[in-house]
Amino acid sequence: MSKSLNLCGGAAFGLAGLLGTVAHAEPAASDGPYGLGREALPEEIAAWNHEVMPDGTGLPEGAGSVEEGEMLFSEKCAVCHGDFAEGVGNWPPLAGGEDTLADKDPVKTVGSYWPYLSTAWDYVHRSMPYGNAQTLSDDEVYAIVAYILYSNYLVEYDFTLTKDNFLDVEMPNADGFIVDDREETEFPTFTQEPCMSDCKDEVEITMRAAVLDVTPEEESEGEDQASAEQAQEAAAGEGAAAAEPESEPLDMALVEQGEKVFRQCQACHMVGDGAKHRVGPHLNDVMGRKLGGAEDFRYSNTIVEMGESGTTWNEETLAKLLEDPMGYIKGTKMAFGGLRKEEDIAAVTEYLKSFSQ
């Protein structure tokens, strides 16, 4: 099987290579001392060379308004960063924090801290939205950056950000940085001969970590582990007993495939042992659950209403959601574009079934 695949692959490659020589010359070999590697083609450089410099070098043509940005932000960014870029939970706020940098626990946002607007454009363009990077058009990036500026009171609502007015935006903390000066400010003190004996009269404990009590727990070897193993065995026993009747056997190959597809969902959803709510609700026992039915999760209104009217998660409803989340549940916070392939939807569904009783 794999052999024949390789043969096919080889043939296809050979053909492409042949066509390539007809269309244009092979990329040149390296002129360097070792002659290793080959010349990077202009279209390859264009595909990867994205960065935008502080002076605006690298910015593409384009424009985006605060108003457009507000819509996009609410659709693609607010689930983590909040509707007003104020941040949700531990996700970073992008707005606010002005005049807090000298305070205890400064609030560092695009408005209060970032020295260059180019950094915001570059980062949104290359890495956002989280879990679905490099999907925004240039105009969309301009619009989202414009909205972030607006949420920091740096531009008015009728503002449109373009390549041409980009450098006119003044960043409040542009002058807030100095180049590493440790060699001047610290080294003279920290390179002196240290004291070895009778260095101080008294030593007192001034602070204890145990008082704060924020260290994660760890299981110790021995007893704890034994009891954990027992608990696991007990759980496995129960699972085996419960799994026998009614439920259809799972297609394990499909489950495995689904696990891979589910990586796209992991940024927001947990499933399996110890799964908790994150940006999205945990998905244990999701099959048969009514829509918006996970306890202690703050859903959007529509999904709760759908659940209350009796809709539950099954293969059919899950497929509708996975195909087009925002189309199926109007106003959902689930900022995911949907799965394009039917087989991916089936695989994720099977995978989720494996965590449902």
Partner 1 sequence: MTASDKGTKASRRAFLKGALAAGGTVAGAGAARASGDPLITETQPWAQYLGEGVDATPYGMPIRFEDDVVRRNVEWLTADTISSINFTPIHALDGTITPQGCAFERHHSGAIELRKQDYRLMINGLVDQPLVFTYDDLERFPREQHVYFCECAANTGMEWAGAQLNGAQFTHGMIHNMEYTGVPLRTLLEEAGVQTEGKWVFVEGADASSNGRSIPMDKALDDVLVAFKANGEALRKEHGYPVRLVVPGWEGNMWVKWLRRVEVTDGPVESREETSKYTDTLADGTSRKWTWEMDAKSVVTSPSPQSPIKHGPGPLVITGLAWSGRGAITQVDVSIDGGKNWQTARLAAPGQDKALARFYLDIEWDGSEMLLQSRAHDSTGYVQPTKDALREIRGENSIYHNNGIQTWWVNSDGEAENVEVS
Residues 22-81 contacting partner 1, CB under 8 A:
27-28, 30-34, 36-40, 44-45, 48-49, 51-54, 80
Q: Which of residues 263-282 bind partner 1 (CB under 8 A)?
A: 263, 266-267, 278-279
Contact 258, 283 (CB under 8 A): no
String of contacts with partner 1 for each residue 190-219, x by CB under 8 A: xxx-xxxxxxx-xxxxxxxxx-xxxxxxxx
Q: Closest Cα to residue 112, out of 49, 180, 174? A: 174
String of contacts with partner 1 for each residue 285-324, x by CB under 8 A: ----------------------------------------
Minimum CB–partner distance for residue 315 and partner 1 (Å): 28
170 binds partner 1 (CB under 8 A): no
How far apart CA 301 and CA 47 sit, in angstroms, is 41
Three-state SS at 314: coil
Contact 248, 241 (CB under 8 A): no
Question: Among 18-26, 59-67, 177-185, 233-241, which window interacts with partner 1 (CB under 8 A)?
Answer: 177-185
185 binds partner 1 (CB under 8 A): yes
Nearer to partner 1, 183 or 244 (CB): 183
How far apart CA 298 and CA 281 sit, in angstroms, is 9
The alpha-helical segments, DSSP class H, found in 244-294 are: 252-261
String of contacts with partner 1 for each residue 125-154, x by CB under 8 A: -xx--xx-xx--------------------
Question: Among 5-13, 123-131, 302-310, 320-328, which window interacts with partner 1 (CB under 8 A)?
Answer: 123-131
* Cis peptide bond upstream of 54, omega within 30: no
Minimum CB–partner distance for residue 174 and partner 1 (Å): 11
104 binds partner 1 (CB under 8 A): yes
Contact 286, 280 (CB under 8 A): no
What are the DSSP calls for 88-104, one per residue? Answer: -TTSPP-S--TT-TTSS
Q: Which phi and psi angles does 69 have, rounded to 5°? A: -65, -35
